[in-house]
Protein backbone atom coordinates (compact mmCIF):
# COMPACT_ATOMS: atom_id res chain seq x y z
CA UNK A 1 0.00 0.00 0.00
CA UNK A 2 1.04 3.57 -0.72
CA UNK A 3 -0.30 7.07 -0.14
CA UNK A 4 0.46 8.78 -3.44
CA UNK A 5 2.88 11.17 -1.73
CA UNK A 6 6.04 11.16 -3.87
CA UNK A 7 9.25 10.99 -1.82
CA UNK A 8 11.84 11.16 -4.60
CA UNK A 9 12.23 11.47 -8.35
CA UNK A 10 14.42 8.69 -9.67
CA UNK A 11 16.14 8.35 -13.04
CA UNK A 12 16.11 5.21 -15.15
CA UNK A 13 19.78 4.33 -15.63
CA UNK A 14 19.36 1.23 -17.81
CA UNK A 15 16.76 -1.08 -19.30
CA UNK A 16 17.31 -4.72 -20.21
CA UNK A 17 15.07 -7.47 -21.61
CA UNK A 18 14.93 -11.15 -20.65
CA UNK A 19 12.07 -13.13 -22.14
CA UNK A 20 8.83 -11.43 -21.14
CA UNK A 21 10.49 -9.43 -18.36
CA UNK A 22 11.92 -5.95 -18.50
CA UNK A 23 14.49 -5.06 -15.84
CA UNK A 24 15.02 -1.42 -14.95
CA UNK A 25 17.86 0.04 -12.94
CA UNK A 26 16.81 3.23 -11.17
CA UNK A 27 19.07 5.76 -9.48
CA UNK A 28 17.61 7.65 -6.52
CA UNK A 29 18.45 9.71 -3.47
CA UNK A 30 17.19 6.96 -1.13
CA UNK A 31 19.50 5.72 1.60
CA UNK A 32 20.44 2.14 0.58
CA UNK A 33 20.11 1.12 4.23
CA UNK A 34 16.37 1.73 3.92
CA UNK A 35 15.93 -0.58 0.90
CA UNK A 36 15.51 -4.34 1.11
CA UNK A 37 15.35 -7.15 -1.44
CA UNK A 38 11.72 -7.94 -2.10
CA UNK A 39 10.57 -4.49 -0.97
CA UNK A 40 7.86 -2.71 -2.93
CA UNK A 41 8.53 0.67 -4.54
CA UNK A 42 5.92 2.55 -6.54
CA UNK A 43 7.57 3.76 -9.74
CA UNK A 44 5.36 6.45 -11.31
CA UNK A 45 2.36 4.40 -10.26
CA UNK A 46 3.12 0.68 -10.69
CA UNK A 47 4.15 -1.20 -7.55
CA UNK A 48 7.40 -2.98 -8.46
CA UNK A 49 9.55 -5.39 -6.45
CA UNK A 50 13.19 -4.66 -5.68
CA UNK A 51 15.41 -7.46 -7.05
CA UNK A 52 18.75 -5.77 -6.46
CA UNK A 53 20.18 -2.61 -4.92
CA UNK A 54 23.34 -0.90 -3.76
CA UNK A 55 24.90 2.43 -2.77
CA UNK A 56 25.54 5.12 -5.36
CA UNK A 57 27.22 8.31 -4.23
CA UNK A 58 25.03 9.84 -1.54
CA UNK A 59 22.03 7.79 -2.68
CA UNK A 60 21.31 4.36 -4.09
CA UNK A 61 20.50 2.34 -7.18
CA UNK A 62 17.88 -0.38 -7.24
CA UNK A 63 16.55 -2.76 -9.86
CA UNK A 64 12.96 -3.85 -10.49
CA UNK A 65 11.34 -6.22 -12.95
CA UNK A 66 8.22 -5.40 -14.98
CA UNK A 67 6.28 -8.44 -16.20
CA UNK A 68 3.81 -8.81 -19.08
CA UNK A 69 0.75 -7.46 -17.21
CA UNK A 70 2.61 -4.32 -16.13
CA UNK A 71 3.99 -3.79 -19.62
CA UNK A 72 0.50 -4.14 -21.11
CA UNK A 73 -1.32 -1.79 -18.73
CA UNK A 74 1.18 0.97 -17.94
CA UNK A 75 3.62 3.42 -19.47
CA UNK A 76 6.64 1.33 -18.44
CA UNK A 77 7.33 0.32 -22.08
CA UNK A 78 7.83 4.03 -22.84
CA UNK A 79 10.63 4.37 -20.29
CA UNK A 80 14.22 4.50 -21.45
CA UNK A 81 17.57 5.60 -20.13
CA UNK A 82 17.19 9.04 -18.57
CA UNK A 83 13.43 8.84 -17.94
CA UNK A 84 12.49 10.55 -14.67
CA UNK A 85 9.95 8.71 -12.51
CA UNK A 86 8.10 9.46 -9.29
CA UNK A 87 9.09 7.17 -6.42
CA UNK A 88 7.36 6.16 -3.20
CA UNK A 89 8.25 3.35 -0.81
CA UNK A 90 5.47 1.26 0.67
CA UNK A 91 3.46 2.50 3.63
CA UNK A 92 4.46 1.24 7.08
CA UNK A 93 2.32 1.00 10.18
CA UNK A 94 2.45 4.37 11.92
CA UNK A 95 3.28 6.38 8.77
CA UNK A 96 1.16 9.42 8.01
CA UNK A 97 -1.54 8.79 5.41
CA UNK A 98 -1.07 12.12 3.69
CA UNK A 99 -2.72 11.33 0.36
CA UNK A 100 -5.19 8.48 -0.11
CA UNK A 101 -4.95 4.70 -0.15
CA UNK A 102 -3.08 3.69 -3.31
CA UNK A 103 -2.32 0.07 -4.20
CA UNK A 104 0.18 0.54 -7.00
CA UNK A 105 -2.06 -1.56 -9.29
CA UNK A 106 -2.49 0.60 -12.36
CA UNK A 107 -5.89 0.41 -14.05
CA UNK A 108 -4.95 1.98 -17.36
CA UNK A 109 -3.16 4.78 -19.16
CA UNK A 110 -4.53 8.34 -19.36
CA UNK A 111 -3.35 11.18 -21.60
CA UNK A 112 -2.83 14.87 -20.90
CA UNK A 113 -5.10 16.92 -23.17
CA UNK A 114 -4.03 20.37 -22.04
CA UNK A 115 -1.76 22.15 -19.58
CA UNK A 116 -2.77 25.63 -18.48
CA UNK A 117 -0.38 27.78 -16.47
CA UNK A 118 -2.13 29.72 -13.72
CA UNK A 119 -0.80 33.18 -12.91
CA UNK A 120 1.38 33.33 -9.80
CA UNK A 121 -0.07 36.71 -8.85
CA UNK A 122 1.23 37.61 -5.39
CA UNK A 123 2.27 33.99 -4.75
CA UNK A 124 6.04 33.99 -4.04
CA UNK A 125 6.29 30.22 -4.58
CA UNK A 126 5.53 30.32 -8.28
CA UNK A 127 2.59 29.47 -10.54
CA UNK A 128 0.27 26.50 -10.35
CA UNK A 129 -0.82 24.51 -13.37
CA UNK A 130 -4.10 22.92 -14.36
CA UNK A 131 -4.05 19.71 -16.35
CA UNK A 132 -6.95 18.31 -18.33
CA UNK A 133 -6.52 14.55 -18.59
CA UNK A 134 -8.47 12.10 -20.75
CA UNK A 135 -9.02 8.73 -19.07
CA UNK A 136 -10.01 5.48 -20.80
CA UNK A 137 -13.78 5.39 -21.34
CA UNK A 138 -14.23 2.23 -19.28
CA UNK A 139 -12.58 3.89 -16.26
CA UNK A 140 -14.35 7.26 -16.43
CA UNK A 141 -17.22 6.01 -14.25
CA UNK A 142 -14.79 5.51 -11.36
CA UNK A 143 -13.78 9.19 -11.33
CA UNK A 144 -15.80 11.72 -9.34
CA UNK A 145 -15.52 15.46 -8.79
CA UNK A 146 -13.66 16.14 -5.51
CA UNK A 147 -12.73 12.46 -5.36
CA UNK A 148 -9.20 11.07 -5.37
CA UNK A 149 -7.15 9.71 -8.24
CA UNK A 150 -3.53 8.60 -8.60
CA UNK A 151 -1.74 9.81 -11.73
CA UNK A 152 1.86 8.67 -12.22
CA UNK A 153 1.85 7.69 -8.55
CA UNK A 154 0.74 11.12 -7.32
CA UNK A 155 -2.34 11.43 -5.11
CA UNK A 156 -4.52 14.18 -6.56
CA UNK A 157 -7.98 15.64 -6.00
CA UNK A 158 -10.22 15.73 -9.05
CA UNK A 159 -11.34 19.32 -9.63
CA UNK A 160 -13.91 18.57 -12.32
CA UNK A 161 -15.12 15.84 -14.63
CA UNK A 162 -16.52 16.34 -18.14
CA UNK A 163 -17.24 12.99 -19.77
CA UNK A 164 -13.90 11.19 -20.12
CA UNK A 165 -11.84 14.26 -19.17
CA UNK A 166 -10.89 15.17 -15.62
CA UNK A 167 -8.98 18.19 -14.42
CA UNK A 168 -6.45 18.47 -11.60
CA UNK A 169 -4.64 21.49 -10.19
CA UNK A 170 -0.95 21.05 -9.38
CA UNK A 171 0.53 23.39 -6.77
CA UNK A 172 4.05 24.88 -7.07
CA UNK A 173 5.56 22.43 -4.55
CA UNK A 174 4.26 19.38 -6.42
CA UNK A 175 5.45 20.81 -9.74
CA UNK A 176 8.92 21.18 -8.21
CA UNK A 177 9.32 17.82 -6.43
CA UNK A 178 7.65 15.44 -8.90
CA UNK A 179 7.71 14.86 -12.65
CA UNK A 180 4.62 17.05 -13.06
CA UNK A 181 6.83 20.05 -13.78
CA UNK A 182 7.90 18.33 -17.02
CA UNK A 183 4.44 17.15 -18.11
CA UNK A 184 2.80 18.52 -21.27
CA UNK A 185 -0.09 17.83 -23.61
CA UNK A 186 0.22 14.41 -25.23
CA UNK A 187 2.09 12.82 -22.33
CA UNK A 188 0.76 9.47 -21.11
CA UNK A 189 0.14 8.86 -17.41
CA UNK A 190 -0.41 5.79 -15.28
CA UNK A 191 -3.91 5.94 -13.81
CA UNK A 192 -5.14 4.22 -10.66
CA UNK A 193 -8.73 4.93 -9.76
CA UNK A 194 -9.90 5.27 -6.17
CA UNK A 195 -10.00 1.90 -4.42
CA UNK A 196 -13.39 2.52 -2.81
CA UNK A 197 -14.94 3.49 -6.14
CA UNK A 198 -13.63 0.31 -7.72
CA UNK A 199 -15.12 -1.95 -5.06
CA UNK A 200 -18.38 -0.03 -4.89
CA UNK A 201 -18.87 -0.52 -8.63
CA UNK A 202 -18.04 -4.21 -8.31
CA UNK A 203 -20.57 -4.69 -5.53
CA UNK A 204 -23.25 -2.82 -7.46
CA UNK A 205 -22.63 -5.05 -10.46
CA UNK A 206 -22.78 -8.22 -8.36
CA UNK A 207 -26.12 -7.23 -6.83
CA UNK A 208 -27.62 -6.02 -10.09
Enzyme catalytic residues: 2, 40, 47, 49, 67, 105, 157
What's the CA gap between 2 and 152, in Å, rounded? 13
What are 28-76's pLDDT values in tens digits?
999 999 999 999 999 999 999 999 999 999 999 999 999 999 999 999 9
Q: What residues contact 45, with CB distance under 8 A and at least 6 apart?
A: 74, 75, 86, 104, 106, 150, 151, 152, 153, 189, 190, 191, 192
The model carries a pTM of 0.91
What is residue 47's DSSP assignment? E
Residue ranges of domains in the chain, CATH in brackets: 8-89 (2.40.30.20), 108-207 (2.40.30.20)
What are 83-119's pLDDT values in tens digits?
999 999 997 776 666 678 899 999 999 999 999 998 6
What's the CA gap between 10 and 37, in Å, rounded? 18
* Coil, strand or helix at 195: helix
* Model confidence band, residue 122 (pLDDT cutoffs 50, 70, 90): low
Q: What residues contact 160, with CB distance under 8 A and at least 6 apart?
A: 145, 166, 167
Amino acid sequence: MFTGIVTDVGVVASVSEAGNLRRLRVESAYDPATIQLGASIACSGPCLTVVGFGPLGSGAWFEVDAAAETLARTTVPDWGEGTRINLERSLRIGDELGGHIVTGHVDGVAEIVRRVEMSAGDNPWGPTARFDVRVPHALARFVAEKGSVALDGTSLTVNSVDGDVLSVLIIPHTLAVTTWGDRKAGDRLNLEVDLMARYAARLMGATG
